[in-house]
Structures are given as structure tokens and as C-alpha cells.
Amino acid sequence: RSKREAHMAGVLESVNQRTKLVGENRLELLLFRVRGKQLYGINVFKVKEIIQCPRLTSLPGSNRVVRGVVHIRSGTTPILDMSLATGGPPLEEVAGAFVIITEYNGATQGFLVASVDKIINMNWEHIHPPPKGTGREHYLTAVTEVEDHIVEIIDVEKILAEVSPVKEDISEGIINDEVRTEASTKKVLIVDDSKIARKQISRCLEKIGVEVIALEDGKQAWEHLKGIVDEGERPQDRYMMLVSDIEMPEMDGYTLTTHIRANDAMQDFYVVLHSSLSGVFNQAMVEKVGANDFIAKFDPDVLADNVVSRINNG
């Protein structure tokens, strides 16, 4: 095997260790470069494989970020230029580039990057929201530091929403007038580090008629919930439910749920974990941390169904 292949094999072997980190507020980041020396990160959970860029077949009429498609096994996978997707120039050296094949929201896509660096094991506590006002936070959900280098963690959900917008309308028949009337008295707390995801979830819930309070990470949510208890109130008396992302800077959704279940005043709080991570694995984790439900992102009908059934039964 070439040195490069051996390096990739080593990178992917550590992917198999990933499940051991869950519930400990840890994650593994795959570090890569798009152009120049700047390091970027993507959660290993989302990565299916890393390949050298094969020949791309162009796709007429596609978004300019899509450089083409590749035929991997039985499917056709769109390849997105990570440089173009984050506001930069197109990647020029495609032949020597790599493709990170990922799975988000039930769909497979590849990201074209200049080089792949390594995988590092991190604690979410060391991963922070992007600094405001840099202009770059537009495409980032978080930043961290590795060996004195700033690593920027890309908001992949934003890129995907721009390249192939998801359906945001709720289908007929899910919401009726009775539900709308009842919903108008309810509040839902949502937590997600992706700005686009917060917008999508808020719009969906507002169509049902509930009031939405949106926070940006698990630590913010935990401080907010503790504050409610300190005021002598229970979160479940203020909010009908919590809809939380899993991957967030400072504190992930699993850890947030574990904290909620360990607190006497919050034990009955209804928690739904909402994530683009794979469903089968999550079902086991949901039970482990004590969440009430798990739903995959982003299907407005599934989310609306979940909230409506909570209105009807809660």
C-alpha cells in the first residue's frame, strides 16, 4: 500500500472507536484543509469514507457548488466543492484532492477538500461558538484550538440547505384548528448550534402555533433550565418539551439530557433529540441517556407530528 493509502486506512480505523465517546461529552473531529494552511473540522460521526477524488461526471443544471457526481457502489453521490461552499474560489487541483463522503439527514454527499490531516479526540467543552463579527461565522458552527492552530468547524447543514433546499412545508392534515388553538398556549424550547437549523425548526413549530424559544448550545440550555429551577419553577411547567440537537459546542445533547434526568426538578421534562446523525445508533443512545424520543433531521412532517402528538397527549 502507498503511504497515502496507509494514512487513510489509519484515519478510518479510528472511526470505529467513535461510539465509545458518546455520552461523555466527547467527539472526534476529522481535520482537513480546503486551501492554504487553515484547518477545518467535521465530526467523524458524519464521515462514511475518505477517497482520492475520482473522475467527476458533470451534472448539468446543478448548483455551482456541485462540481459533479461520482458513482460509488450502487448510488450516485454529488460532490460539493468545500471551498466554493464556504465563499472561497473553486478548488483547482481536483486530481490530487480528496473527497470526504458524509451522511447528513439521510442523504449521502461528498465534500471536495485539498487534503485530509488527521482525526483528533476532543471534549465538547473545548469547542466554542464562533466569534461574532468576523464575517466568517456565517459558515461556521464552532471553533476550537489544536496544537496552537485554530480549527473552524463548518456548518454543513447551512451548505446543504443552500445547495439543495429541504422541504419546509408541513403536509395537509397534520395540523387542525383544534391543535392550533391548543398550541397557542404552549411554549417549546429548542437548542441547535446551526443557525439554519434553528430557523427551520422555529418556522416549522411556529406554523403549528406554539411559541418558540431558541438557544445555541447545550451549555446555554442547561444554564437556562437551572435558572428556571432557581426561580422556584419547573421547566416542564413552562415548556411543553425540549427539542435538542445532539452535536453542539460546550455541551452536547446527550450530556444535556443526562443532566436533566439527574435533576429532581426536571426529571419529567419531555426531551426529544433531533439530529442528522444516523438513526439506529441513536436509538440505543436515546435510551441510555433517558431522552423521550429521537427524530432525524430535517423532515417538517416528522417534527410536526411529534409536536402535535405531544399537544394532544401532553
Q: What is the rounded average pLDDT of the residues 78-82?
A: 96
Residue 20 confidence (pLDDT): 55
Q: Which residues face 150 on adjacent strands?
A: 145
> What are the tens digits of pLDDT across the range 223-267?
999 999 999 999 999 999 999 999 899 999 999 999 999 999 999
For residue 12, pLDDT over 60 is answered with no
For residue 221, pLDDT over 80 is answered with yes
In this prediction, residue 282 has a pLDDT band, given cuts at 50, 70 and 90, of low
Look up the pTM and report it.
Answer: 0.85
> What are the tens digits of pLDDT across the range 141-194?
999 999 999 999 999 989 999 998 888 899 999 999 999 999 999 999 999 999
For residue 297, pLDDT over 70 is answered with yes
Q: Which of 106, 152, 102 is nearest to 129 (CA)?
A: 152
Residue recorded with cell 419547573? 234
Distances (CA, A) of 4 to 50, 52, 96: 11, 10, 11
In Å, how far from its chain's centre is CA 216? 12
Q: Which residue has the higher pLDDT, 27 or 227?
A: 227
Contact 197, 298 (CB under 8 A): yes
Report DSSP letters for 175-231, one per residue: --HHHHHHHTT-EEEEE-S-HHHHHHHHHHHHHHT-EEEEESSHHHHHHHHHHHHHT
> What are the tens digits of pLDDT across the range 126-148?
999 988 876 666 889 999 999 99
